[in-house]
Structures are given as C-alpha cells and as structure tokens.
Chains A and B, each alone.
Chain A
C-alpha cells in the first residue's frame, strides 16, 4: 500500500448531504426556479391581455386614448391590486425557492432514514482517491476525479462516470490539508491515466477468488430501471403523498380564499358582517363545484401519474445512457461482502451495508441502506449461478446474520 499524500477523517452530516445534492443538481434546481418567473410572466401577460380585451369592449369605438385611459384607471384600482396579489406569492416562492429545495432534500433524506452522521476516512493518494466508512470502501482513480470545486463551506470533489460528488466540510480540514488537496487535485488531474488504482485492501485479500462474479455493461434499459426504482423509494412515495394531500387541500380552499381575496381588493366591497353569511351560503351553492372540479383535475393527474413516471424514467434513462461512457462492470461476491469494479473505480461493500434484495423486471437490485443499489441484469448469470447467488444473498441479509 502506497503512502497517502493526505489523510483526513471527516464527519458527514445531513447538511453536507444536502450541500452535495444542491451542488450536483444545481442546474436543475436553478431551472425550476427560473420556470417560476416564466410562469409569472405568462400569468401577467394573460391577465393584461384579458384586461385589454375587457377595456376594448367597454370603450368600443371611442378611440385609442379612451382605451389607454380605461386600462390605466383599471390598473390603478382593482385590477392593479389583483395583479399585485397574484404576483406577490409567486415572487415570494421564487425568493424562497433555494430554502424550499433544501427543506425538500432534508425531508427526502429523513424519509430515506439518512439522519445519522457518517464517519469517513479520506485518503488522497498519488493515483486517486479512497474513502472509507465502517462497511463501505471506495477507490476512484484520477481518471474518475473530475476536479475539486470550492464552495464557502465545502470542498466538492466531483467524480465523473458515476456523476457523483463528495462534499467534504471545509471546517473539518486544516489549512495544510486544504492546500495539500489543492495540489493533489492538480497533479491527480494531469497524472498518467493508466496508473493502477489505489489499493483498498492488503495484497493477500486482493488476490482471493470471488464466490460468484457477474460481468456486464450497463444498458439504456438498466439505467431506466434504476431511475424507475428511485421513483419508488420511500422518500419519493412520501413526497408524492404529501403533494397529493396539498393539492387536495388547495382544491378545497381555492374558491373561498379567492372569494376573500377578491373581496379584500374590491374598493366597493360589502361590509364583512353582510358578506360573511353570504360566503357561508356559497360553500353550499358555489364553492363545492370548484372543489369538485379541482379535485377531478387532481384525480386525473394522480391516475396518469404512474404513466408519467414511466415516461420520465425512460427519458432520464436515455439521457444518462447517452452521457455515460460505456464501461464493463464486474460485481464480485465474497463471503464478507461484494466488490464493484470498473475501469478506474473499485468499491467494497460489507454485507451490513445492504438492506434488501429485489427484482424489478430484467434487473436485480441489492439495496444499500443509503437508498442507492448495486444492480445487475438477470441475464448476466446462468440459472445455476443465479440460484447459488440467491442462496448466498439470502443467507447474508437474513436478520442476525453475522458478517463473517
């Protein structure tokens, strides 16, 4: 084992995981935030157009001056206030978007059961990077290290291929360590690409024979299956349930809230003591129609949602497959765990890192406790091998099984 250039022990918390996801999916989040402004633009344009049409109808044949005066007086009165009231919550949502994204990620992590901090040992070596937790060890060759990015609180080590990022909290690194990592990133980047991976284990262990080996190259279908599986994770299901409840609640409250808002904006509104009994009556006569109509829309979307998810998984799978480099992958099964080996990538996972084994379509998934999974196609194994492997996994994942 070569001497590492830098050795660091860090504690990864929920905040660091959120920072990593924010960094990794920053573009998507920023796009979603921009879409809010586009939505607002479309909303205001539609509203202005409708106001223009109404004003045009009211001043029919009185010339352009009258139209402009009519529009201006409307905008200074009720219609202007209505626009402000429509725009305010959208602008507020835009302003709060980064915070809401962080909250959503925190909920996701909580639903996935990722609440405890994780202790990680990082080894920056001349030929790559190694990080170890109690039951997972990973090594990435320099060819897989896409660079180190500094953010105010973290060092983001970008890993290509897996399109992953490792968020290291800066506060836990000393200045010499920070400088050293900077140097390491430069040399590792320019270093020879064909150098061997840093070792994960002692020489004796590295040469032992696996019980079963699966060799395959990920296909578009398998990437699609992985995306589809992510969509059925507890966190995603929980988020969908929450969205459904929120949508139903919004459908229920839309009409009464709109009635009160329009009332509050109206210069000639009827005093509250006269208006309130009428609203109470409207619950029975009018509001329920809106509620039913909006609930029908929610229901249709909910019914179509599985098909939409299916379609989205296909699209995302195709995107991932196109952007990924085709690499052969080996999954080696041992008594004490498994090893995932690719060109420039080696991962050792103890059996305790896993929480379940499932089959989805043509793929088998060995689920990790952090929500991700080691996946391989059923077709990569013959029947006898598959039976042997199934027995091994069953034995190892059985509750109470000791990692030998």
Chain B
C-alpha cells in the first residue's frame, strides 16, 4: 500500500516537473533533413535547430525528464556537421573517421578524460549496427556518481551525425532510450532535400 502511494506521488511529481511536455513518442525534425523519434518523456533542451559551435559542429541537446528517467537521468547531445566527411558511400565515410590507430587512440583518450578519474571503457571503439545503420560506437564506464557516456557516430545519406548520450545508470542495461533514439534516425535522401 505504502509502495503504491509513493509511486503515485512520484508520478505526480514527474508530471509537475515535466510540465507541458507530451508523454508520447514524437518525431523531431533536425536540420539537414534528419529526423529522430523522441522517446516518451524526452524533450529538446533549447532550440531544435541547435547552436553552431566554434568547432563547426551544430549541437542539439535532448534530455529525459520523466519519472522513468529519475534514476538514469539520460541525456543525448546530437552533433551535426555541415560538411560531409570524404568517401564513396556512407560506409567509407564512416570508416574515414577513424582510419588510423592514432585517431582511434586520440578518441579513446578524449572520452576517458571526459569520464573523469577511475573511469574505464565499457565498450571499445568499433563499428556496430544500431537499427538500420552502422555506427562507430565507444562507451565509458564512469566511477559511481559520475556520468557514463555512449558515443556514437554515423553517416546518414552523406550527413555526419554524432551522439553523446549520458546516463547515471550503473546496472548492466544502459542507454535504453538513447539507443532507441539512435535507431530512429532517418535521413531524407540528399536529392529530395
């Protein structure tokens, strides 16, 4: 009885916190003819157009604020690059991102540094299939109380899309929403844009 009530209270609190955000999955249109499905309880933090940083990357911040996310506190930052990487097709372009061991090492070092002290790699940097696409993925395992992150990059119809998704979850199953978000990525073919 007590458990039920506390769950109910948490649901109310979540509803208050999330304010007017819809509870259902919603399609989000991104620049460059890209779309993603926002999982239930997720919202855009700031503008859906994102902000162009000085490094030439456009960042769109997404976050989950529903009761489901109270513990995991999942967030995702999508990174878009105006210019596509060089290559014949999407697969070649993706591989060109880390075509030397030095680039791979630099990437691993950067993500470990971001994860803070005592962090480790949970998944190595490698190409994996998430949904319909191939992604260059690496995952960090941060010390308790720090954010573990999933880094994934792909090239969708000639457009670079990067995602940095954080979670405070420490269990084996992580980045549940983030992975569904990545799976949902769609790119309008370049010709019809």
Contacts and interface: CB of A to CB of B under 8 A. Distances in A.
Interface of A: 266, 268-271, 274-275, 278-279, 281-282, 285-286
Contact of B100 (A269, A279, A286): A286
Nearest to B99: A285
Given A274-B121, A274-B124, A269 B101 contact: no
B128 to A, nearest CB: 16
A268 B109 contact: yes
26 contacts: A268-B109, A268-B112, A268-B113, A269-B109, A270-B105, A270-B108, A270-B109, A270-B112, A270-B121, A271-B120, A271-B121, A274-B108, A274-B121, A275-B108, A278-B101, A278-B104, A278-B105, A281-B101, A282-B101, A282-B102, A285-B100, A285-B101, A285-B102, A286-B100, A286-B101, A286-B102
A268, A270, A271, A278 interface centre (most CB from chain B within 10 Å): A270
Interface of B: 100-102, 104-105, 108-109, 112-113, 120-121, 124
Contacts of B105: 270, 275, 278
Nearest to B121: A274
Contact of B101 (A266, A268, A271, A279): A279
A268 B120 CA distance: 11
B109 A266 contact: yes
Contacts of B112: 268, 270
Contacts of B108: 270, 274-275
Contacts of B120: 271
Nearest to A275: B105
Contacts of B121: 270-271, 274
B167 to A, nearest CB: 21
A291 to B, nearest CB: 16
Given A270-B108, A271-B121, A286-B102, 16 more contacts: A266-B109, A269-B109, A270-B105, A270-B109, A270-B112, A270-B121, A274-B108, A274-B121, A275-B108, A278-B101, A278-B104, A279-B101, A281-B101, A282-B101, A285-B100, A286-B101
A281 B103 CA distance: 12
Contacts of B104: 278
A327 to B, nearest CB: 66
B103 to A, nearest CB: 10
Contacts of B101: 278-279, 281-282, 285-286
A274 B112 CA distance: 12
The 10 A-B pairs of least Cβ separation, nearest first, read: A281-B101, A278-B101, A268-B113, A270-B108, A282-B101, A278-B105, A270-B109, A285-B100, A268-B109, A278-B104
A278 B112 CA distance: 16
A279 B113 CA distance: 20
Contacts of B113: 268
A275 B124 CA distance: 11
Contacts of A285: 100-102
A286 B101 CA distance: 9
Nearest to B115: A268
Contacts of B124: 274
B126 to A, nearest CB: 11
Contacts of A268: 109, 112-113
Contacts of B100: 285-286
B98 to A, nearest CB: 10
A261 to B, nearest CB: 15
A271 B108 CA distance: 9
B18 to A, nearest CB: 37
A282 B102 CA distance: 7
B28 to A, nearest CB: 34
B102 to A, nearest CB: 6
A266, A278, A281, A285 interface centre (most CB from chain B within 10 Å): A278
Contacts of A286: 100-102
A262 B21 CA distance: 49
B95 to A, nearest CB: 14
Nearest to B124: A274
A281 B105 CA distance: 11
B115 to A, nearest CB: 10
Nearest to A268: B113
Nearest to A270: B108
Contacts of A278: 101, 104-105
A301 to B, nearest CB: 29
B24 to A, nearest CB: 41
Nearest to B105: A278
Contacts of B102: 282, 285-286
A177 to B, nearest CB: 70
Nearest to A263: B105
Nearest to A279: B101
